[in-house]
Amino acid sequence: MRSVLKLGLLVALASCKSVNPQSAVSSVDFVRDQVSPQEIQDLEPWTRYVASTEASYEIQPACRPASFRHRGELKGLVILFHGFTACPQQYFVVAAALQMQGWDVLLPLNPGHGMKQGLSTKEQTYLPNKESYKKVIPEFIATINEIARQHPSPHRVVGGLSLGGAFATAAMTSAPGLYERGLIMAPFYRMSSLVANLIGGLKNLDQWGQQLNPDRIGALSNNLLSKSIGWGPGCTKETQRGRQGICKFDLTHLIGAQQFGYELSRDKSLTGRVQFVGVEGDMAVDIGRIKWFFENKVSSAAGEKQFCLYRKPVSHSLASRFDNPDEDKFWLSAFEADLQNFITNGEFFPQKGNRRIKGYGMCRS
């Protein structure tokens, strides 16, 4: 998953000292020492959540929960969940653009994420694990949904990528009618069988097929569960070039993330206006599981749901400017524009002609 399940090391670039999207620069090498904006301070449940989160452990500056206040007339509220081991930083560019269009934007920090590196405590210490995810994640989703309820606008949109896509799904399924629409991007409902190729320390995930199969998770030894794997030296290099987030996690944390997404997709159904986005040949998440959920568990009326896929070689972390910073992200401008258009106007992502990928339209890139 590193380039992918990384589950979302979605990071975008904009100077934290200015939330104007025009402040974004073209090279991540110029983006240093970002700090999450905190512009919405009169929404009491949000400020309480921020204070509680920041008191939990030392957090990297651009991993703090972020808020962007609307400019001009208020249109509504947008909540975007980041991916596994990433931070709110990944959405700074699109959040700044959305606020200029009249939206309040909240970027929560996923549970246990964003700890400062180099401390005596391991950076992955507080990530939900194989045992704690059943309590920690639903409580987090309930907290964010209550914040959304208390926002003064009745117009609310939720979205997320990878693990954040599973969280956005959970936010909608646990509170039907709270959000007008949802943007579910490469959701982590189940890890891809190819994920071992992307994680440092795991040579062949297939050897553990029985233990890691979410239907038969089994009992793994404490020694194996505590194995620190992470994304390897490439993640460290990205950190040196401006990316904030963590680079290491234990096998138990990966299992906890998968079990949450898998059980959610197995047990819950989704309704409402929803845009699903996937990536052809995704090496991080199981695209077949996403298709199954969309076809069998999304009960939105005709014309209220859409699923499109980006063609290879678009990466799983399709919204990130800091992941693989030297990669040709030819799709990024179209992706950011289409994301904003769906959130602001409810228009589904445009598709490229009659091209089909696994039976679905190709997202324009």
pLDDT in tens, 336-348: 999 999 999 999 9
Tokens of 65: 């929960």
22-26, 258-262, 273-277: which has the minimum mean pLDDT? 22-26
Computed over every residue of the chain, the mean pLDDT equals 86
Q: How far apart (Å, rounded) are the C-alpha atoms in residues 298 and 292?
A: 9
Q: Are 89 and 11 in contact (CB under 8 A)?
A: yes
Rg (CA), the chain: 19
Task: Give the up-direction half-sphere exposure of residue 57: CA atoms within 13 A in the CB hemisphere.
Answer: 19
How many other CB atoms are there within 10 angstroms of residue 173's CB atom?
19
Name the amino acid, one letter, at 260. F
Domains and CATH numbers, the chain: 21-363 (3.40.50.1820)
Place 210 in a pLDDT band, splitting at 50, 70 and 90: very low
Task: Give the up-direction half-sphere exposure of residue 354: CA atoms within 13 A in the CB hemisphere.
Answer: 0
Residue 335 has pLDDT above 60, yes or no: yes
pLDDT at 14: 26
Task: Give the up-direction half-sphere exposure of residue 203: CA atoms within 13 A in the CB hemisphere.
Answer: 0
Q: Which of 166, 157, 209, 170 is nearest to 185 (CA)?
A: 166
Is the entire prediction scored with pTM above 0.85?
A: yes
Residue in the structure block whose two tokens are 């909608």: 172
- Per-residue DSSP letter, 274: E
Rounded to the nearest 10°, the torsion over CA 222, 226, 227, 229 is 150
Q: How far apart (Å, rounded) are the C-alpha atoms in residues 357 and 310?
A: 8
Name the amino acid, one letter, at 103. W
Residue 59 backbone phi and psi in degrees, to 5: -115, 140
175-184, 191-200, 294-303, 324-333: which has the minimum mean pLDDT? 191-200
pLDDT in tens, 233-266: 888 888 888 899 999 999 899 989 999 999 999 9
